[in-house]
């Protein structure tokens, strides 16, 4: 007889690669090992006093497997564990019945962690450990919150910080943010589709703890919208819309000559290339304006006269923006929309597999491609 379980009893976790599973398991093992080694070195071999707390294993899972979760951030781990330890010690002293003390400590710890924004599930076990840990733990009293709780928490946080960042998982987690434009307006993409306020309203109505940063949810939705756009637009790539005959300068090109090129071609940016046409920077009108401002000269004299009079010897390589963000010809055009709309990039050099300049994509190119894709889609549906 074959046993089967209802689908809702099995969690639908997002798939991860074998490499990520190995990274997580190795990180958790190293984190617990290093925490134990350092704790033993400081405390010494004292059999009656725990040098590692049992909830550390659960904390390690959060820190290394779901390090982007609000439940795994430094204040959640450290604050949640220490606060719950203090509450557990207090309940062990004030509530004579052990079972009742465990129940009260768990409930009060949850309320305190939620109020102080440091909810960390393993901390519930910390509160119980303060009550059920035995005579040695009870003898420590409130010092239990300092050692081993605070010490273990701090050590594994240090290990998580080092390991996650070395393996390409920035920690503490910071949701991606759009470039600050210095105005009250929201970024362009935030004005369309699902907005942060929409998510906030839904989460408020949902009225449950969601172990994901709302900013991450918003970013995931935006990425899904980009993938949907790529599907609707027929896979338009940067190579299909880029300008191929690109005016460029070299690092030693005088600024006066660079300005003449910008005016001649009515453009606002010049890729800076080396002798083999590898892109090493980009020179924009903003760079020239900043240069003019740094010379403390009036702009009424005109840029050409200004550079000729006070910028003699200055070259493109002196003021170019570097390193420069680039694209490849096969990159779907939809991937450029958040870069150009929210991140503030107006021009993006396109390079081949050797890093050599193949073309340039501007905001105008993207707008024209979007218009053409929409018009083509309307014609197909007509």
pLDDT tens sequence across 212-237: 777 777 777 777 766 766 666 667 88
The alpha carbon of residue 144 and the mean position of all alpha carbons in its chain are separated, in whole angstroms, by 35
Q: How far apart are the first and last CA of the chain?
A: 56
Model pLDDT, residue 127: 96
- Counting residues of the chain whose pLDDT is more than 70, the rounded percentage is 76
What are the tokens at 78? Answer: 């450290």
Task: Give the gyration radius of the chain's Cα atoms.
Answer: 29
Cβ pair 241, 366 in contact under 8 A:
yes
Model pLDDT, residue 49: 66
Residue 307's pLDDT band, with cuts at 50, 70 and 90, is low
Domain extents in the chain:
16-166, 238-381
What is the mean pLDDT of the segment spanning 58-75?
A: 93
The SS3 assignment for 183 reads: coil
What are the tokens at 80? Answer: 């949640």
Query: Is pLDDT larger for residue 23 or for residue 186?
Result: 23
Model pLDDT, residue 166: 95
What is the mean pLDDT of the segment spanning 83-110?
A: 96
Give, for 371, the enclosing helix (H) or strand (E): helix 363-381
Model pLDDT, residue 152: 93
What is the mean pLDDT of the segment spanning 154-169?
A: 95
What's the pLDDT tens digit per position in 107-145? 999 999 999 999 999 999 999 999 998 888 898 899 999
- Picking from 122, 136, 158, 129, the residue whose alpha carbon sits closest to that of residue 35 is 158
Neighbouring C-beta atoms of residue 369, cutoff 10 Å: 20
Model pLDDT, residue 379: 43
What is the mean pLDDT of the segment spanning 338-360?
A: 82
The span from the CA of 146 to the CA of 184, in Å, is 45
Cβ pair 322, 280 in contact under 8 A:
yes
Is the sign of the CA dihedral 38, 42, 46, 48 positive or negative?
A: negative
Does the pLDDT of residue 292 top 80, yes or no? no
Backbone dihedral angles phi then psi of residue 208, each to the nearest 5 degrees? -140, 155
What is the mean pLDDT of the segment spanning 193-219?
A: 72
Model pLDDT, residue 181: 54
Query: Is pLDDT larger for residue 300 or for residue 223?
Result: 223
Residue 167's pLDDT band, with cuts at 50, 70 and 90, is very high
The span from the CA of 286 to the CA of 254, in Å, is 16
Residue 86's pLDDT band, with cuts at 50, 70 and 90, is very high
Does the pLDDT of residue 339 top 70, yes or no? yes
Does the pLDDT of residue 310 top 50, yes or no? no
Question: Rounded to whole angstroms, what are the CA distances from 77 to 119, 120, 382?
Answer: 8, 6, 57
Strand-pairing partners, residue 357, are 351
Least confident of 26-35, 163-172, 341-350: 341-350
The span from the CA of 164 to the CA of 229, in Å, is 33
The span from the CA of 264 to the CA of 6, in Å, is 70
Give, for 225, the enclosing helix (H) or strand (E): helix 214-232
- Picking from 302, 247, 236, 304, the residue whose alpha carbon sits closest to that of residue 272 is 247
What's the pLDDT tens digit per position in 41-53? 876 656 566 778 8
Please state whether beta strands 269-273 and 279-284 pair in parallel, antiparallel, or not at all (unpaired). Answer: antiparallel
Does the pLDDT of residue 267 top 80, yes or no? yes
Model pLDDT, residue 279: 92
Does the pLDDT of residue 382 top 50, yes or no? no
Model pLDDT, residue 203: 72
Instruction: Given CATH 3.10.350.10, say whether it is the number of domain 238-381.
Output: no
């Amino acid at each position: 007889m074959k046993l089967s379980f209802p689908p809702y009893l099995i969690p639908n976790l997002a798939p991860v690669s074998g490499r990520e599973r190995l990274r997580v398991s190795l990180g958790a093992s190293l984190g617990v090992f290093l925490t134990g080694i350092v704790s033993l070195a400081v405390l010494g071999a004292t059999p009656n006093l725990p040098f590692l707390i049992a909830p550390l294993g659960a904390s390690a899972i959060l820190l290394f497997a779901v390090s982007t979760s609000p439940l795994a951030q430094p204040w959640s781990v450290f604050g949640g564990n220490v606060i719950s330890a203090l509450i557990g010690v207090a309940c062990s002293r004030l509530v004579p019945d052990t079972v009742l003390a465990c129940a009260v400590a768990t409930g009060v710890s949850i309320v305190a962690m939620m109020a102080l924004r440091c909810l960390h599930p393993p901390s519930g076990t910390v509160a119980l450990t303060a009550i059920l840990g035995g005579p040695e733990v009870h003898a420590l009293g409130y010092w239990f919150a300092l050692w081993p709780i605070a010490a273990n928490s701090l050590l594994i946080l240090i290990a998580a910080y080092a390991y996650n960042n070395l393996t390409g998982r920035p920690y503490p987690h910071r949701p991606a943010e759009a470039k600050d434009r210095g105005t009250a307006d929201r970024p362009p993409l935030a004005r369309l589709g699902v907005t942060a306020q929409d998510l906030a309203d839904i989460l408020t109505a949902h009225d449950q703890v969601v172990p994901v940063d709302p900013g991450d949810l918003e970013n995931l939705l935006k990425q899904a919208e980009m993938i949907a756009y790529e599907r609707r637009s027929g896979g338009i790539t940067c190579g299909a819309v880029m300008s191929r005959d690109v005016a460029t300068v070299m690092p030693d090109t005088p600024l006066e000559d660079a300005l003449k090129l910008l005016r001649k071609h009515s453009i606002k940016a010049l890729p800076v290339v080396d002798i083999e046409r590898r892109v090493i920077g980009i020179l924009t009108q903003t760079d020239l304006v900043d240069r003019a401002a740094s010379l403390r000269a009036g702009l009424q004299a005109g840029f050409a006269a200004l550079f000729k009079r006070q910028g003699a010897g200055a070259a493109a390589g002196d003021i170019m923006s570097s390193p420069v963000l680039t694209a490849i010809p096969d990159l779907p055009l939809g991937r450029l929309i958040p870069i150009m709309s929210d991140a503030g990039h107006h021009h993006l050099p396109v390079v081949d597999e050797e890093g050599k300049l193949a073309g340039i994509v501007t905001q105008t190119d993207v707008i024209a491609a979007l218009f053409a894709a929409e018009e083509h889609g309307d014609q197909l549906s007509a």
